Amino acid sequence: MQGIWFDWRAAAVVNSDGVIIDVEEWSGPYKVNDVMQRLELLKAGAMTTEARSLLIQFPDSILLPSGSSDLPEANYPIPDDDAQTIADEAALKLAEDGVALAAGDPDRRLEHLIGAAEELRSAWVTGEGRMVEWVGLFIPQARFERDRSKLATQIISSANIAQLAETLNAELPPVGPEDSEWHSLHSWALYVSNMEKQLNQIENSIRTITRIHLPSLTALLGPLLSARLCVSAHGRMRLARLPAGTIQVLGAEKAFFHHLKTGAPPPKHGHLFMHPWISRSPRWVRGKISRMLASKAAIAARCDAFGGEAWSPAQVEKVEDKVNEIRTRHPKPKQIQR
């Protein structure tokens, strides 16, 4: 039994004793681009033209590309120094192309977007909280439990604290902020409203990418939650391979490992809690709904990852019917028998 050894520039027929029967070498041109194409062929597990022509002459041989573990020891044709230099240049180019391709990977892009959105959101929430307290100190009569969202723009459009009090329909206490203090408050409001705008921008780009990357999961869970699951799972392919039980507790790692360690009750939901079907349901059905929803999400993720058809609204409606069914079946919490 003989084999055909080949690398990017030559091929040789070798028998099991390591005797080389025939050699065919590539005539060139030895240019970086051509060598890159050949290295890519090898990477894809394909044959070079030399290997193919030897295979036609010796049809009953097995293919043994360079690097195969069962190659017999033999003096295979080795590239000379010039050829090797070109191959090394081609390898560097290939590596760079591979790195550049990673920029097109939606998983990597979502990772940064989700991370940025998370950091920005926590900064925004604390910043806004401070702004509300700050204004409340100077204008104690003002009440904005309902719409804190407008406050930033109201501060920005006011020239001084009196004007702000007027817009808020409140009286001004005798002691107000210094001029420079008011300017600090004013720029703080600018900072808060900028963060809000930035956050919206980031979330919009998450939505755009996720709708294309995970259409079925987005139809079921919405784009932001789908993206979060995908990032927690370290990519779409990995998400698609996860069991539904893992998807159910993605994002609840702390509670989950506490459960494994101490035997505390396991978490019922992780990121999935963000979904109104769970967060707006009564406490006693949340676990049941989240279990059902996680298994549907697993199916949807697999449809997305393995090139299936995207889910239609009708399919999502069926899931919603199931949610309602669970809710009506358990109108009251289960009584614990003592």
Partner 1 sequence: MSGEESSSQRKIKRNNNNSKSKNYSNLSWAVRMQRRAIWTINANPRKTVYGESLRRFNGKEYRRWDPRRSKLAAAMIRTRNNPDILLPAAGSQILYLGAGHGTTISHLHDHLCGADNRKGGRLVAVDLAPRCLRDLTHLAHSRKGLVPVLGDARKHTAWGALVPRRVNWLFQDVAQAGQVEIFLSACDSFLAIEGIALLSLKAASERWNSEGEAALFTEVGRKIEAHGLELLEGIKLTGFEDNHTLFVVRRGS
Pick the binder of partner 1 from 20, 94, 156, 190 (CB under 8 A): 94
Q: Is 101 in the site for partner 1 (CB under 8 A)?
A: yes
Q: Across-strand partners of 25? A: 10
Give SS3 for 21. strand
Tell me the CA distances in angstroms from 192 to 125, 154, 231, 246, one per residue in order.
9, 12, 27, 37
Shortest approach of partner 1 to residue 43 CB, angstroms? 5
108/150 with CB nearer partner 1 = 108
Pick the binder of partner 1 from 2, 8, 12, 228 (CB under 8 A): 8
Query: DSSP state, 80?
Result: -
Tokens of 90: 């081609």
Q: Is 104 in the site for partner 1 (CB under 8 A)?
A: no
Q: Show the DSSP H helices in 102-171 as ranges.
A: 106-138, 151-157, 161-167
The residue range among 54-62, 89-97, 168-176, 246-254 that interacts with partner 1, by the rule CB under 8 A, is 89-97
Tokens of 290: 């989240």
Identify the residue whose tokens are 């109201």: 154
Give SS3 for 254. helix
Tokens of 328: 């009506």
Q: Across-strand partners of 13? A: 4, 22
CA distance 280 to 43: 51
82/309 with CB nearer partner 1 = 82
Identify the residue whose tokens are 């025939």: 22
66/200 with CB nearer partner 1 = 66
Position 159, amino acid = A
Q: Is 92 in the site for partner 1 (CB under 8 A)?
A: yes
CA distance 101 to 88: 20
Compose the 42-61 pattern: x for residues touching partner 1 by CB under 8 A, - for all others.
xx-x----------------
Sign of the CA dihedral 91, 97, 99, 105? Answer: negative
95/125 with CB nearer partner 1 = 95
Q: Which residues contact 9 (CB under 8 A, 6 or more apart)?
A: 25, 26, 30, 35, 38, 79, 83, 87
165/230 with CB nearer partner 1 = 230
Q: Is 39 in the site for partner 1 (CB under 8 A)?
A: yes
> Taking the CA atoms of the chain, what radius of gyration do you get in angstroms?
32
Pick the binder of partner 1 from 11, 14, 76, 210 (CB under 8 A): 76
Q: Are 51 and 3 in contact (CB under 8 A)?
A: no
Pick the binder of partner 1 from 17, 29, 33, 67 (CB under 8 A): 67
- How many residues belong to the site for partner 1 (CB under 8 A)? 28
Shortest approach of partner 1 to residue 245 CB, angstroms? 20
Strands 20-25 and 10-15: antiparallel
65/251 with CB nearer partner 1 = 65
Pick the binder of partner 1 from 22, 25, 88, 171 (CB under 8 A): 88
Q: Is 79 in the site for partner 1 (CB under 8 A)?
A: yes
8/311 with CB nearer partner 1 = 8
Pick the binder of partner 1 from 2, 3, 4, 7 (CB under 8 A): 7
The residue range among 96-104, 135-143, 191-199, 213-221 that interacts with partner 1, by the rule CB under 8 A, is 96-104
| Binding site residues, partner 1, CB under 8 A | 7-8, 39, 42-43, 45, 65-69, 71, 76, 78-79, 84, 87-88, 91-92, 94-96, 98-99, 101-102, 105
